Amino acid sequence: MSEQRTEQPAWSALALEGVRVERPKVVVKADLLPAVSVVSFVALLGIPVGWLWSLLAPPQRMRVMGGQAGELPLQLESWHRFDALAVFLLLGLAAGIAVGVVVWLLRERRGPVILVAAVLGSVVSAWLAMQMGLSFAGSRYAITEPPEVGAVVEAAPVLETGWAVLAQPLTTALVYGMLAIWNSRDDLGRRLG
């Protein structure tokens, strides 16, 4: 009798001769409800990130001028606009790393559905952090009385670009992707058995 060999698909590096190994499929329906939970919980992370930003971002000291000049920043104080943006970006990067690692630890839910949920939650979280951070900073540096001409006041930090919200979701996707590559299993380790 002649032996017939069955060809294994190229993707099945671990397949034994004569044993058919099925490629794991993407689970969508079972992951939808956990994905909604991931979006919700990740989005809520924006509130403490915004509060932390309002504490760390430096205010801009300004001198009150008379007439239509309004307020003018003191020398070198305008650099704090960049400092506030840099602090927000660093907090977004840290939050993105934390979200990527924590979501990866949901072993039985690993996959593209949860990755998309984590990235969407991070977008909402970063937007919420920006809005809440500006609100917290505005109330922290509120001027209660009209200042005198020549007085130095501290103006609340501002974020002058909306592009800063991309730091957290991009970092989340990068960290989750790097962990998936490092895992190198076809099913990403979903099966616990």
Strand partners, 155: 60
Q: Confidence class of residue 5 from pLDDT cuts 50, 70 and 90?
A: low
- Dump pLDDT digits (tens) for 94-152: 999 999 999 999 988 888 999 999 999 999 999 999 999 999 999 998 888 888 888 88
Statement: the pTM of the whole predicted model exceeds 0.75: yes
What pLDDT does residue 193 have? 40
What mean pLDDT value characterizes the chain?
A: 85
What pLDDT does residue 108 have? 85
Residue-by-residue DSSP string for the chain: ----PPPPPTT-TTPPTT---PPPPPP-HHHHHHHHHHHHHHHHTHHHHHHHHHHHSPPEEEEE-SGGG-EEEPTTGGGHHHHHHHHHHHHHHHHHHHHHHHHHT-GGG-SHHHHHHHHHHHHHHHHHHHHHHHHHHHHHT---SPPPTT-EEEEPP----GGGGGHHHHHHHHHHHHHHHHH--TTTT----
What pLDDT does residue 146 have? 81
- Residue 7 clears pLDDT 60, i.e. is over it: no
Question: What dihedral do alpha carbons 43, 49, 53, 56 form, nearest 10°?
Answer: -170
- Dump pLDDT digits (tens) for 43-62: 999 999 999 999 999 998 88
- Dump pLDDT digits (tens) for 76-90: 777 888 999 999 999
187/87: higher pLDDT:
87
